[in-house]
Each structure stands twice: as C-alpha cells, then as structure tokens.
Amino acid sequence: MKKSGNHASLGMRTLAVHGGQHPDAQSGAITTPITATSSFSYGDFDSGERRFSGEEPGYMYSRFGNPTVTAFEERMAVLEDAESAVACASGMAAVSATLFALLKSGDEIIHIGALYGGTEGLIRNLLPRYGIKPVFVPDLDALKAAFTEKTKMVFVETPANPVMGILSLEEVARLCREAGAVSVVDNTFATPYLTRPLQLGIDVVLHSATKYISGHGDATGGVVAGRRELIDPIRTLCLKQFGGCLSPFEAALMTRGLKTLPLRVEASSHSAQKIAEYLNEHPAIAAVFYPGLKTHAGYEVARKQMKLFGGIMAVELKGGRGAARQFLDKLTLVTQAVSLGDTDSLACHPASTTHSAVPEKIRLESGITEGLVRISIGIEDTEDLIADFEQALEGL
C-alpha cells in the first residue's frame, strides 16, 4: 500500500484504486509498467544459484514470476484481505492449480450444488484419474453427513453458476474447520467488492479474473488468494510445473480493471435488481433466480454476506428450449455470449453452451433446464435494457 498499511480503515473503492499500488521505482509511473520479457538477468553465477534455490529474492523467468504480474497479485491480495495471491492464465488454470496442489491420491473432495461446467468436469472426470474421489452433495445439510477421514477439501460457488444458489460461507468454513478440510470458494460472481470469503472463515478464494476483475471483455486470467502456506504450494507445485502463468499484458489489463471494479459492480447490481423485479412479474417467465428477490431461497443469507446482490441472474422461460431460443435471438442490446461481468450485458443458454458437456441428468438435478437463460447485466442504462427484454419477450 503506497500511503498506509492500515487497509481495514479504507473503503473498497479506495482500496480498488490504491491498495497494493506502488509508483515504479525507476520512472515514477503510477500505472505499473508492462515488463515484456521472458528472462531476467541475475548477474553472476552465485546469484543465479541463490535465486533458483530460493535463498535470494529476484526474478528469473516469467513463468516463475514477473513484476507486472506480481503487482496484480499484490493488489488482489489486498482486495481479498489475503496474505498472498497467485495469478494464473485463466479461471480454470486457477481452479486446476488449486486442486492439484492441495489434493493427492486417496483424498476426497466434496462439492456442493451446481458449479461452472468446466469446474464440474474437472472434478467429476479428471480428478478420479489421479485417485482423488469427488463427492457431490446438494446442500449444507447433506454436507454435514458427507465428511469422512479422507475429506481434504470442500469446493463451493456462491452465487452458483448458473442458477444463483446461495450458501452460508460462515457455515461452510465452520464445518470444514471441524473436519480438518480446506474450504475453497469460487468468488467470481460476487467479486471481493460484494463478498470477502476469507473474512468469513474460508481458506482459499479464487476467481476467473476474465470476468468482473478485468471487466472489459479483453483479457483472460485467474487468481487464487489465501494464507501463504496454502498459496505457496499452488505457485511452486502447480503454476510452475503446469505452466499456466498469467502474461504481463493480461496482468496490466486486470490491474486496470480493478480500479473501476466497485463502480462497475455497483452499476450492474443496481440494474440487475430492477430487471429481476421486472422479469419476475412477466407472464412469459416461469421463475427468476436472483438472490436480491425476497422469494429467492438464499435471500437472507445473501443479504448477510453480500454488499449488494450482484449483476447476474437466470430466468426460466415457460416455453422451454424454443422460447429460450426465440428470446435470445430477438435481443438487440444484450449480446449472446458465454462470459459475464463485462461492461456489456450478455446472455446465454447454459444447457447448450457453458454446461453442454455436463450429463443431462446432472444438469437437471442442478436446475439447468432447456428453458434456462443466464443473464449478465452490464453498465448500460437500466431502462434501455428493460426495453430490450420486453421486446424480446413479446409473443412468448
């Protein structure tokens, strides 16, 4: 922190601009320069040996570390109130590095409710090849009975992709502490502006930084934050070995995105609340899944652990797949795309896109039906977005 080390006394908008920021030592540049190099000179033989052994700090090779990437990691650690953070090439690189670094053959991982399709595929299909057993439970009540002596990790999303399921992170953290398991939360939908899982007792928090962290749809990356004892093995055992490092160019874009994160999330959250209320009354809509609606099963928990309710929702159209297709194809301001958290509003049909590789039985158990559409609200004027939804729903 360039002006004060007392992060607790600063608001999130201030932290987003100043937290972890240091003017460049050589030029004085406020914005972190992009260090576009693959290798770094370490001077002499002995210094190289000390750096590679870990006895001496310093950069060696950009897969191991890069000043621009380090600057982004430091800023994310501040925003998540973490001891350390490590940046990765994508959200899935962050997920896979975390799981493979902290789990080993013979361990069990429990995941709760619906997850992003890529994460679900990794847990269900890839981990068993390495002797790691996945255990699925639908809710917190089932979690209590699922722990065994082999349970080493519990992985959750909240709000969950795409049906916006809400879990009490304090309760997840408490149960994991009692069982001696590491708790991991994908905080992509909420961002550190809306929810800070580590302050609620969670051990590890990760993001697809491609989404709200970047915020402009022009960079791909991921980040993991938590206690140093958990982050160090993710960096040394997996990031270096798997090679899923973040490029300095992407890191610079992520750092730029962080400065406006609170403003963008506030704007999209306020719009999403109004849009969810509008859609909830529309006769063509069977259900709206948004934690800001009092009818949402997780409303009270979300109100407790979220600053606002976020910019993402899902809607169930009464006409199933045909209605979903018609609705999506008639949208004009809202773009059909599978990402989220951009300045642009985006919408997609999870069953045929993001979760198409998930077996149908599992999709349906998770509430991902043929009539479900996920919507990510951007920063456009709320009234214009409502008008677009209204015309797209005509005739349904």
List active site positions: 63, 116, 186, 211
Q: How far is CA 333 from CA 107, 326, 343, in A?
A: 47, 15, 12
DSSP state of 112: E
Q: Which amino acid is at 192?
A: P
**Residue from 126, 129, 83, 128 nearest 235 by CA:** 83
- Give the separation between CA 372 and CA 347, rounded to whole angstroms: 11
Q: Which residues of 115-147 are buried (b: 16+ CB within 10 A; e: fewer)?
A: bbbbbbebbbeebeeeebbbbbbeebeebeebb
**Residue from 130, 218, 159, 147 nearest 183 by CA:** 147
DSSP class per residue in 121-160: HIIIIIGGGGT-EEEEESSHHHHHHH--TTEEEEEEESSP
Ramachandran angles phi, psi of 167, nearest 5°:
-125, 145
- Give the separation between CA 327 and CA 323, rounded to whole angstroms: 6
Q: How far is CA 300 from CA 305, 306, 319, in A?
A: 9, 10, 30
